[in-house]
Amino acid sequence: MTVSAPPVGPSDQLEPQATRPSGTARLLRLVPAAVAALSGVLLYVSFPPRTLWWLALPAFALFGWALRGRGWKAALGLGYLFGLGFLLPLLVWTGVEVGPGPWLALVAVEAVLVALVGVGVAAVSRLPAWPLWAAALWTAGEAVRARVPFGGFPWGKIAFGQADGVFLPLAAVGGTPVLGFAVVLCGFALYEVVRLALDRGRAREVSRSAAAVALLGVAVPVVGALAARPLVSDRAEDGTATVAVIQGNVPRLGLEFNAQRRAVLDYHARETERLAARVAAGEVARPDFVLWPENSSDIDPFAYADAAAVIDKAAKAIGAPISVGGVVERDGKLYNEQILWDPVKGPTQTYDKRQVQPFGEYLPLRSLLGAINENWTTMVREDFSRGSRPGVFDLDGTEVGLATCYEAAFDWAVRDTVTHGAQMISVPSNNATFDRSEMTYQQLAMSRVRAVEHSRTVTVPVTSGVSAIIMPDGRITQRTGMFVADSLVQEVPLRSSETPATRLGILPEMLLVLIAAGCVGWAVGAGLRGRRAR
């Protein structure tokens, strides 16, 4: 018996070989993803401790190529890959002592916010002058990351990678939002110039207005930075002060240094007394005041007489007031506090840190995290409370603004010390828990940007390095090594004038956020009109 074959339907037919994607075609589909991830890595390489600030431009140019004309799903994925490529290596220091879990969780959340910016950039890439709108969107994304979740995490702002760059003077014009906007605009516009040039080379029609806008997108940020140079000065306006920065070092690296609180205090007192001996020998000038780092006395000197005696002895030896970083309990609450200790009067002024660090100084979602891993809750046994007033100490007639460690990353926390009269700024920090990672160099770059932003001398006293003295033009004039005991003494300029950035405050950022919101609305509206027309 002959059995006839069943009829072959369309679903049973093999796809013609010509319509199958070849291996090469499949690989080509992965190119945008690879470019997005690698451009994020390129952006990371542009950050300190390297001085390759200019790599931020090709990083955003490549990111613009990957996103231009994409649908929202593809743009979300590409933006996420860019965020991972950038933030995974940038923030690796967050897992140095606590393991990879918190580091990976932080990066995963932050990269989502970057991915959403990628969706916006892809949407506006179809509009005229799109690099301008895309740069505004990036700035809006940074504004969001600086506020949410848990009070925000501004680490990785583009401005903080530009301390050695030609765009730095723009920090004095409009702060970190304007500086970052200029860099991103220049990068996206660089890609647009190349794209239009290639189109013209292929004999495609190129609009003169589009070419002009692209060229202006590259030129205006550079010209603007050069025009802003007169705002950058290290000239003294209110005389000078001789400042001493003390780095006492810690007995051991990592989180275990907290178990050696008395040793850390003794180290800083000892280094101050060594400096006093050098002053008495005529080797260095006598300082008008002395700056100790954050956590230099984790023993509460208001509660423990022995700690107070150690600080008092050091202040009397140097013959100058000392700003001491302490951990203080008051009314049942714990504070990360700076204490002004006079050699005659003892403690006279205090400043309580206002922007306390989530997962470092307080633990959000404590019960949830404890249910996942009990070890995480033991690392922050008690939450720190927040201060409520800006920190400005009167140190022997000099008004010194205080932004404690993590606060240096927040625009408002540095600015309001200047608007409250600071003639110079100090950023007392404790980086001992981050070993020899890049964290200390990233934070030092922030302080350099803040110096130019507000035209103030900035000192960075750190427990274990790198401590530094920074001029109002962003130059580091003295610095220490890491995990060494050392002191820096220098006569520094005092200034009272306000830069445009100081006067304008949040306004430039708000304007760029409004522009970003408007252009996204424009892009969405244009897309809907196009669909109706079809």
294 is catalytic: yes
Among residues 110, 157, 361, 405, the one annotated as catalytic is 405
Distance, in Å, from the CA atom of 241 to the CA atom of 506, rounded to the nearest integer, reads 30
Distance, in Å, from the CA atom of 207 to the CA atom of 230, rounded to the nearest integer, reads 36
Distance, in Å, from the CA atom of 384 to the CA atom of 404, rounded to the nearest integer, reads 14
DSSP 111-176: HHHHHHHHHHHHHHTTSTTHHHHHHHHHHHHHHHHTTTTTT---TT-GGGG-TTSTTGGGHHHHHH
Judge whether 327 and 310 are in contact, CB under 8 Å: no
DSSP letter (8 states) at residue 233: -
Q: Residue 98, CB half-sphere, CA atoms under 13 Å: how many? A: 23
End-to-end CA distance of the chain: 57
Judge whether 293 and 325 are in contact, CB under 8 Å: yes
- Write the CB contacts of 50 (distance below 8 Å, at least 6 apart in sequence): none
Among residues 157, 271, 353, 407, the one annotated as catalytic is 353
Residue type, 359: F
DSSP 66-88: HHTT--HHHHHHHHHHHHHHHHH
Of 365, 364, 302, give the one whose Cα is nearest residue 334. Answer: 302
Among residues 110, 294, 337, 399, the one annotated as catalytic is 294
**CA-CA-CA-CA torsion for 163, 168, 174, 176, nearest 10 degrees?**
-20
Judge whether 110 and 146 are in contact, CB under 8 Å: no
Per the DSSP assignment, residues forming a β-bridge with 341 are 322, 347
Of 141, 155, 151, 63, give the one whose Cα is nearest residue 103. Answer: 155
- Write the CB contacts of 167 (distance below 8 Å, at least 6 apart in sequence): 53, 179, 182, 183, 186, 221, 222, 225
Residue reference for tokens 């929202």: 72
Burial of residue 27 (CB within 10 Å: 0-12, 13-18, 19+) is: exposed
Structure tokens, 163: 């301390």
186 is catalytic: no
| Residues designated catalytic | 294, 353, 405
